[in-house]
């Protein structure tokens, strides 16, 4: 077992995964650099979600390795992986999954309290993030009283409020309208950049992928190419440089 390169916060080698015998990933390798925003693109069924689930320790690959910093994730037991996900990672689904009995700020603050944060500080951080995502006025509403797009903003606030090391976002703006989508994405990306959060973003939308530093494309569970964005700078053998990008909230 060889440890990953130092500048990769996440690193995967030759991942294979099958869902009930049908292959979803067949030999995918990639590295994600610290504070990088990486878009994983590909058509429906190409393996994007499965790749994010393997990288985040939700699924164990049948073959291959996943490393977070210098820690092997693929050899961790379920409890250690769970703790890693809770303490260092965050996840945004295409559909918001909120606790129906809790209002918007409580749903958001829950992520902080699960990491051991106090209620008062958790509430303050939650309200700040809801405000930043333009849903401060919904803070006391329960999920059933919110629009789908508002619920998704709450889910995004909940993911950002803990300033995770890595944010996995699986089609995070799928339930939003076009205008909403751009604003929420820019907020998400700007927050990630200002807090140094590494983002792995699954999307089949080229406009969304264009906001990332780098794109990795999948087709039928394999990597097919890498798009270099204008401004990518380094020229080594692995030339997937980081594009200059300035976004503000």
Ligand X SMILES: Nc1ncnc2c1ncn2[C@@H]1O[C@H](COP(=O)(O)OP(=O)(O)OP(=O)(O)O)[C@@H](O)[C@H]1O
Q: Are 33 and 198 in contact (CB under 8 A)?
A: yes
Quick one: 103 or 173, whose CB is closer to ligand X? 173
Please give the residue ranges that form the binding site for ligand X (CB under 6 A). Answer: 19-20, 22, 24, 42, 44-50, 202, 204
Quick one: 48 or 242, whose CB is closer to ligand X? 48
CB 230: neighbour CB atoms within 10 A?
Answer: 6
Quick one: 50 or 107, whose CB is closer to ligand X? 50
Cα separation, 95 vs 195, in Å, equals: 25
Quick one: 31 or 221, whose CB is closer to ligand X? 221
For every residue of 168-230, DSSP letters joined together read EEESTTTTS-HHHHHHHHHHHHHHHHHHT-EEEEEES-HHHHTTSSEEEEEETTEEEEEEEPT
Name the minimum Å distance from CB 60 to ligand X: 14
CA atoms within 13 A on the CB side of 227: 18
Q: Are 188 and 164 in contact (CB under 8 A)?
A: no
Of 30, 158, 37, nearest to 90 by C-alpha is 158
Name the minimum Å distance from CB 20 to ligand X: 5
Name the minimum Å distance from CB 168 to ligand X: 12
Name the minimum Å distance from CB 41 to ligand X: 9
Q: Are 14 and 27 in contact (CB under 8 A)?
A: yes
Residue found under tokens 């969304």: 208
Q: Are strands 37-41 and 214-219 parallel, antiparallel or unpaired?
A: parallel
Quick one: 42 or 57, whose CB is closer to ligand X? 42
Name the minimum Å distance from CB 46 to ligand X: 4
Residue found under tokens 């692995």: 238
Quick one: 20 or 233, whose CB is closer to ligand X? 20
Name the minimum Å distance from CB 240 to ligand X: 20
3-state secondary structure 62-94: CEEEEEECCEECCCCCHHHHHHHHHHHEEEECC
Quick one: 43 or 231, whose CB is closer to ligand X? 43
Name the minimum Å distance from CB 39 to ligand X: 12
């Amino acid at each position: 077992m060889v440890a990953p390169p130092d500048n990769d916060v996440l690193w995967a080698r030759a991942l294979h995964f099958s869902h009930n015998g049908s292959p979803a990933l067949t030999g995918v390798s990639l590295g994600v650099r610290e504070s990088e925003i990486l878009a994983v693109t590909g058509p429906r069924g190409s393996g994007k979600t499965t790749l994010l689930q393997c990288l985040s320790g939700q699924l164990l690959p049948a073959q291959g390795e996943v490393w977070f910093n210098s820690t092997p994730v693929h050899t961790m037991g379920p409890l250690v992986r769970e703790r890693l996900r809770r303490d260092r990672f965050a996840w945004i689904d295409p559909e918001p999954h909120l606790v129906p009995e809790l209002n918007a700020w409580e749903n958001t603050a829950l992520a902080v309290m699960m990491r051991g944060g106090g209620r008062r500080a958790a509430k303050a951080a939650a309200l700040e993030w809801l405000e930043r995502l333009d849903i401060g006025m919904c803070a006391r509403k329960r999920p059933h009283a919110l629009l789908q797009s508002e619920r998704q903003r709450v889910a995004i606030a909940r993911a950002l409020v803990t300033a995770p090391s890595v944010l996995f976002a699986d089609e995070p703006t799928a339930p939003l309208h076009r205008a909403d989508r751009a604003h929420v994405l820019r907020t998400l990306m700007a927050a990630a950049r200002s807090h140094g959060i590494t983002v792995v973003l699954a999307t089949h939308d080229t406009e969304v992928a264009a906001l990332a530093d780098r794109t990795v494309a999948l087709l039928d569970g394999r990597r097919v190419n890498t798009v270099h964005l204008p401004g990518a700078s380094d020229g080594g053998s692995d030339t997937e440089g980081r594009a200059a990008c300035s976004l503000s909230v």
